[in-house]
Amino acid sequence: MTRQEPGLTDHHDHLLAEDDDERNAVDNAAALPAKLVFETIRLQGEEELQRPMRALWWAGVAAGLLISFSVWGEAILRAVLPDNGSRYIIENAGYSLGFVLVILGRMQLFTENTITTVVPVVQNPTRQSFLRTGRLWAVVLIANLVGAFGAAAFMVFAPVLSEPVFKAVIALSEHATGMNWQEGLARGIPAGVLIAALVWMSPSVVGAQLPLIILITWFIALGDFTHIVAGSVEMAFLLLLGELPVTTAIFQFFLPVLLGNVIGGTVVFTLLTWAQIRHEVRLAKERKLPYAARNHLR
C-alpha cells in the first residue's frame, strides 16, 4: 500500500474541518447531489405506483376539491383589496393556498405526477412501467376533475360566496379560460416546468417546503401561467353557470393546457434532469451487476 505524504489530502477529504463533529456538520450542510434527489423521487414514484387505485382515486378527488382554495384565495383578495397597482401582486399570493393544502396534505395532484411517476419510467423504460404510469395518470386526472367540478358546484349553487367574491371568481375564470389554444398551450409549459422543479427541489429543503411552495405557485399566478387542475375549477365554474360552451372548454382550454403542463413537467424538466445523471445511474447499475452482465451492458 502506498503511504500518503503528510499534507496531501484526497479530493474528498475535509480541508478545514478538524474533528468528526465538524466533518459531519459539513456533510450535513452540503447540497444533496442530483443523483440522490433523483433516487428520492424515484422511490416516491414507486411508492405511488404501488398504491391501490381506490386510494389514488380519493386522494385525487381531495386534491381537486382543495385546489379550489387557490381560486377562493385569489378571488377573496381581489374583492377586498383596493384597485391599485399593488393589488395584482398581492391577490396572486392567494393562488398559493390551494397548492399548500394539496402538497403538504400529500394529496394526488396530476401535475406533480408528470415528474414523480415518470422518473421510475425513464430509469426502467419497460412496457409495464409505461402502463403503470399511464394508469395512474388517468385515475388521478379524472379524480382531480371530479373534485374540481364538485368544488365549483359548491361555489355556484351554495350561498357561500359574497357578491363581490362571486364576481371576482367570474372575472378570474373568464380570464383563465378566455385565451386561445396556442396561449393555453404555451402558458401551460412554464407552469409544468415550475411544478416539476418544486417536486425536484423538495428533498433538498426538508422542513422548508412551505415557503418553497408559496414562492413557486405565487410566481405561476404572477406570470399568468396555466395550471390544468386549478384552471379546471375555473372552467367548471363557468360551465355550471352556462357562461362557457363545452367545446370551447375542452378544445380551447382543457386539452391545450393539459398538453402544455405535460410537456413542461415531463418532456422539458424530467428528461433534461435525467440526461444530466444518466451516466451516474448507469455506473451505479454496473457496480451492482456481475462481471458478465457488465460486459453485456457495454
- pLDDT tens digit at each of 298 positions of the chain: 444 444 444 445 555 555 666 566 556 655 677 888 888 898 999 999 999 999 999 999 999 999 999 999 999 999 999 988 899 999 999 999 999 999 999 999 999 998 899 988 888 889 998 999 999 999 999 999 999 999 999 999 999 999 999 999 999 999 999 999 999 999 999 999 999 999 999 988 878 899 999 999 999 999 999 999 999 999 999 999 999 999 999 999 999 999 999 999 998 888 888 888 887 877 776 776 554 444 444 4
C-alpha–C-alpha distance, residues 198 and 192, integer Å: 10
pLDDT at 124 (0 to 100): 85
pLDDT at 297 (0 to 100): 42
The grid cell for 204 is: 433538498
Longest dimension (CA), the chain: 82
pLDDT at 10 (0 to 100): 44
Query: By three-state DSSP, how is residue 288 classified?
Result: helix
pLDDT at 125 (0 to 100): 86
Task: Say what angle helices 209-222 and 181-201 make with each other, to 10 degrees.
Answer: 170
pLDDT at 15 (0 to 100): 58
Strands (DSSP E) contained in 67-115 are none
**Could you give the domains of the chain?**
32-290 (1.20.1080.10)
pLDDT at 287 (0 to 100): 74
CA-based torsion, 43, 46, 52, 58: positive or negative: positive
Task: Answer yes or no: are the C-beta atoms of 248 and 83 closer than 8 Å.
Answer: no
Residue with cell string 416546468:
193
Which one, of 235, 277, 250, 268, lies nearest residue 114 by Cα? 268
In this structure, the chain runs to a length of 298
Which one, of 131, 104, 294, lies nearest residue 209 by Cα? 104
pLDDT at 23 (0 to 100): 62
The grid cell for 257 is: 393546457
Rg of the chain on CA atoms, in Å? 23
pLDDT at 38 (0 to 100): 85
At residue 196, what is the residue type?
A
pLDDT at 34 (0 to 100): 81
Q: SS3 string of 192-213?
A: HHHHHHHHHHHHHHCCCHHHHH
H or E segment and range at residue 291: helix 291-297
C-alpha–C-alpha distance, residues 170 and 160, integer Å: 14
